[in-house]
Structure 1
Amino acid sequence: MNEIASLLTSVRDRQPLIHNITNQVVTNFTANGLLAMGASPVMANAEEEAADMAAVADALVLNIGTLTTPQVNAMLKAGQAANQKGVPVVFDPVGVGATSFRNMVALRILEEIDVSLIRGNAGEIAFLAGADAEMKGVDSAFQGDGRRIAVEAAKQLETAVVLTGEEDVITDGNSLYLCGNGHQLQTKITGAGCLLSSVTAAFLAVGGDKLSAAAAAVSYYGTAAEFAASASDGPGGFQSAFLDALYQVEEEGWRKKMQLKRVDG
């Protein structure tokens, strides 16, 4: 796991430019979180410049949390430009399964863009895999086997999948990582999952092995949440402490708390 932990240093040394076309609820938190960890965020969602920005970025994040038609057009143009330049694309299908418009957009993105990785909760990943999943707004009520759903989705969609929950699953459909890092307070603040998608993009930007880079991102993020929870009494303090922890976590402290297991076959 030493090689995985070293990716954090690579992110901080290279300061990859992460282009986020994301939802209006989490824009500020996402930008601050990326800055805290050592990456460089840009939030360019105008259709007129999205492709140009994606082409010079080190990774692109597409998040469908608060969709508008102009934003969808920007996402498609940015995704296609990123594909042409070999820039990794992370897709966060927030609330997919909740409305027909959201479902249509998610399917268009997956059909028209070569997505490097999908990061979502169990209900979102289950929907994309064709399984029954109940959504409450943008939250998931899915109670099935997260490992099985993640593997099925990765195989069907031919991409890497990060399914976050009580146990995080990171898989390409063949091998998988299981991650036990994290804290319940992550579910009590807005944007924890969205920021993780962008943090994962930062690790993908510097890591050669996509699966290991994604696993590193999830474990680092969960470890920061554990440190933040120990320094706060509730969601308000946690959110502030979490940004501090993303900045403060170092390789050595992370290795001591890392709960990451690889399962092959």
Structure 2
Amino acid sequence: MDLKNTFGELVDKLRRQRPVIHEITNYVTAESCADVALAAGASPVMADEPEEVEEITAGADALVLNLGTISFNKQIAMERAVAVAAKKGIPVILDPVGVMTSTMRLNFALQLLNKGVISIVRGNYSECNALLLGKTGGHGVDNLDETTDEGQALRLAKDAASKFNCVFAVTGAVDNISNGKQAVVLNNGHPLLQDITGSGCMTSTLVACCAAITKDMLVAAALGVVIMGQSAELAANFLEKKDGPGMFKVRLMDCVYHVTTKWNLVNLKPEEKVS
């Protein structure tokens, strides 16, 4: 797989086509997700009212389901939106925020996965491991497995993808993405991503932007993760000594724009590989 040339063609296509991304997301990061979609060249719409989600989903090119601030009404909205997406062949990206901490979240995510309607899952190790094992255990919504080695995360991505018949993107210091047969290991990013709200949610949005313009969900997931990782590295390079997470987040949004408008300047690291 020629990642750089494939990615370059898709980035151009993304900015040319401006796909509509429907996000049923959480109120903590909704603005950041909308901004990052716009910066990448897509057109976001945030609608979670059950009475209108079917109509809005029907006009979208990708659907994001983010469980960050899940509620009964949002579950209804997500179920209705997914039904339309499945019928029309619209890719669905699941961000299983905090499923390791809440039985309600975990059961709902598993319900969606077991229906076979999810195209890509983008989550951290703790979230994806909870989905694979089908059990909770933890506090808060952040990754609880910081000591996980690359081999464990790669096995998790492959096993979860095989079990649920979709692509799993297990993101962290090293990103492991698999469709159950092939895998992509990426080494982009910057530690400051852990110090801002919404880095995972924004990554899921970027994955959806890419899923909207290709039928290869492994490539879509990998490209979305690469855009975020490259943008984070570029943003960190622009910081001054007095700057911290706040300015990093501002720079990050700018850098998503720069990465997707100047893809010819982006280089994948030698460590990045496809297997």
- Are the counterparts in 1 of residues 130 and 136 from structure 2 also a CA contact under 8 Å? yes
- Are the counterparts in 2 of residues 224 and 246 from structure 1 also a CA contact under 8 Å? yes
Structure 1: gaps (5+ residues): none
Equivalent in 72, 77, 83 of residue 74 of structure 1:
77
The alignment covers a number of residue pairs equal to 263
**1:30-80 C-alpha deviation (Å, 9 max, x unpaired):** 001111111100001000011111111000000000011001100000011
3-state SS of paired residue (2:27)? coil
CA–CA distance in structure 2, aligned partners of residues 78 and 257 of structure 1: 38
Q: TM-score, structure 1 length as denominator?
A: 0.95
What RMSD, in angstroms, separates the aligned Cα atoms of the two structures?
1.6
**1:73-107 C-alpha deviation (Å, 9 max, x unpaired):** 00000011111000000000000020121122212
Q: Quick check: 1:161 aligned with 2:168? A: yes
Deviation at 1:254, TM superposition (A): 1.4
- Are the counterparts in 1 of residues 106 and 136 from structure 2 also a CA contact under 8 Å? no
- Once the two structures are superposed, the pairs formed by residues 30-69 of structure 1 within 5 Å of their partners are 30-69=33-72
Aligned to 2:130: 127
Equivalent in 253, 265, 269 of residue 253 of structure 1:
265
- Once the two structures are superposed, the pairs formed by residues 1-265 of structure 1 within 5 Å of their partners are 1-112=4-115, 114-130=117-133, 134-142=137-145, 143-144=147-148, 145-232=152-239, 233-249=243-259, 250-255=262-267, 260-263=272-275
**1:158-195 C-alpha deviation (Å, 9 max, x unpaired):** 11000001110110011100000100111100100001
3-state SS of paired residue (1:203)? helix
**1:102-128 C-alpha deviation (Å, 9 max, x unpaired):** 122212222345100000000011011
CA–CA distance in structure 2, aligned partners of residues 45 and 113 of structure 1: 22
Paired residue type of 1:262:
V
